[in-house]
């Protein structure tokens, strides 16, 4: 029985990584981010065509959670606090509007449609995310990273990431408590903010000390081992203080990004993330019920209508953030389009809600559809506006 479990686990892992890379490659060749291909691969595996693949496998679930932690650790490494400060008040204003407006639209839409308060909060939170990685990749490919629009977008997206992590921590607190308690939400936000403040105060000393130790190490893989341990340690510290582990992972990345080993850490951590993160996205896709997108089934039409409304709210909520830009000579449309893609963070919100039993499978499918559409349309819109 033990051997049989190992065989099934390895077979499932083989399927996940293989499908993630194959469909990710197809997506890249079509000019789209690889994450969309990984989602599609998961959706195909989740149809039940391969009998031994079980999306509910707890071991795959654990690997998926590790993938989220490592993904947000890498996101922190790619986030530049110095660039955030250079972007100044404009990026802060764009990020603030880009969080408040989508949340208000999502929450208001769900409330108006008669959905419970918990679902409304989760959907509103899912709409706040911005995928800085997708936007940065488009700007880099176009050679526009030095453009004023790009500086505002990247700065706002970094601030958006920090706001999103705090909101995500609050949402996780709601999921764990099982009820919408604003006092608990406020406590979670304060804990998350307090943890970030303490980490930024003490963290630089720890991260620089870690780098000095790594300089003296001779063992193979010392740098990547130390970096991952640092991420896990801050994740556990965040959990011990009552906030989300992903806050600790993200903070660890931000701190290591300010050391002279940033590029080396990024290079060594990337292969680890390339294995674990796709597991998360494939598993997210595998939990999507493809039959729920069939428009010829009467009960599906309500979900598809809701998905269409969420897509509109998601796009409008981010595009209006460009109204906060006051500088002359800056193309506001480009700034707004650059904030549209939801990417991986929106999926994390939806996954938490589904796992906690707060978000229904139909609503989960609608949120995933919103993430996919916004991630698909943002690159061509941004390319057209900046060309």
List the domain boundaries for the chain.
67-274+297-386
- pLDDT band, residue 317 (cuts 50/70/90): very high
Give me the helix-helix angle, 343-355 and 262-286, nearest 10°.
50
Contact 55, 44 (CB under 8 A): no
Per-residue pLDDT reduced to its tens digit, 152-191: 887 787 777 667 767 766 776 776 666 656 666 677 677 7
- List, for residues 274-301, the tens digit of each pLDDT value: 899 889 888 888 877 777 777 777 777 8
Which of 324, 374, 321, 326 has its CA nearest to residue 347? Answer: 374
φ and ψ at residue 115, rounded to 5 degrees: -80, 155
Separation of CA 233 from chain center: 21
CA–CA separation, 262 and 211 (whole Å) = 10
pLDDT digits (tens, 9 = 90+) for 26-75: 988 887 778 778 888 988 998 888 888 888 888 898 998 898 889 888 87
Least confident among 76-90, 103-117, 188-202:
76-90
Nearest to 73 by CA among 294, 236, 234: 234
- How far does CA 27 lie from the centroid of its chain? 18
* pLDDT at 144 exceeding the cut of 60: yes
Average pLDDT of the chain to the nearest whole number: 82
CA distance 188 to 170: 5
Cβ-Cβ contacts under 8 Å for 368 (sequence gap 6 or more): 39, 284, 285, 288, 347, 350
Q: For 197-216, what is each residue's pLDDT tens digit?
A: 887 788 788 888 888 888 88
> How far is the CA of 144 from the CAs of 141, 172, 184, 382, 387, in angstroms?
8, 36, 43, 11, 10
Two structure tokens written together for 27? 């997506």
User: What CATH topology corresponds to 67-274+297-386?
Assistant: Na+/H+ antiporter like fold (1.20.1530)
Token pair for 151: 């500086």
Whole-structure pTM over 0.75, yes or no? no
Q: 328 pLDDT exceeds 60? A: yes
| Count of beta carbons in the 10 Å neighbourhood of residue 330 | 16
pLDDT higher than 60, residue 78? yes
Residue 230 has what pLDDT?
92
- Is-contact 386 149, C-beta < 8 A? yes
pLDDT for position 196: 73
At 141 the pLDDT is 67
- Could you report the per-residue pLDDT of 243-279, keeping only the tens digit for each? 668 778 888 888 888 888 888 888 999 899 889 988 9
């Amino acid at each position: 029985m033990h051997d049989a479990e190992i065989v099934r686990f390895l077979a499932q892992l083989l399927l996940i990584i293989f499908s993630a890379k194959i469909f990710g490659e197809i997506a890249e060749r079509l000019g789209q981010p690889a994450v969309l291909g990984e989602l599609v691969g998961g959706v195909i595996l989740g149809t039940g065509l391969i009998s031994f693949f079980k999306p509910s496998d707890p071991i795959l679930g654990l690997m998926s959670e590790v993938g989220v932690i490592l993904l947000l650790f890498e996101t922190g490494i790619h986030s530049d606090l110095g660039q955030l400060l250079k972007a100044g008040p404009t990026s802060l204003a764009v990020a603030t509007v880009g969080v408040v407006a989508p949340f208000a639209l999502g929450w208001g839409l769900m409330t108006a449609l008669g959905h419970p308060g918990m679902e409304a909060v989760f959907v509103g939170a899912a709409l706040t995310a911005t995928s800085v990685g997708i936007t940065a990749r488009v700007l880099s490919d176009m050679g526009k990273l030095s453009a004023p629009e790009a500086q505002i977008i990247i700065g706002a997206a970094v601030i958006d990431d920090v706001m999103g992590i705090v909101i995500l921590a609050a949402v996780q607190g709601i999921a764990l408590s099982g009820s919408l308690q604003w006092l608990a939400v406020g406590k979670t936000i304060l804990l998350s903010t307090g943890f970030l403040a303490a980490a930024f105060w003490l963290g630089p000393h720890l991260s620089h000390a870690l780098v000095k130790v790594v300089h003296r190490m001779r063992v193979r893989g010392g740098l990547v081992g130390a970096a991952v341990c640092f991420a896990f340690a801050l994740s556990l510290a965040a959990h011990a203080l009552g906030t989300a582990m992903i806050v600790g992972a993200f903070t660890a990345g931000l701190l290591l990004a300010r050391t002279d080993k940033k590029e080396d850490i990024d290079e060594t951590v990337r292969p680890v993330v390339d294995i674990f993160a796709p597991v998360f996205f494939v598993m997210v896709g595998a939990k999507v019920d493809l039959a729920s997108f069939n428009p010829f089934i009467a009960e599906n039409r309500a979900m598809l209508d809701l998905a269409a409304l969420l897509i509109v709210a998601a796009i409008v909520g981010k595009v209006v953030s460009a109204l906060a830009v006051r500088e002359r000579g800056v193309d506001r449309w480009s700034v707004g389009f650059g904030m549209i893609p939801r990417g991986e963070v929106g999926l994390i919100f939806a996954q938490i809600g589904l796992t906690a039993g707060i978000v229904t499978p139909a609503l989960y499918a609608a949120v995933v559809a919103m993430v996919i559409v916004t991630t698909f349309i943002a690159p061509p819109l941004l390319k057209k506006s900046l060309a």
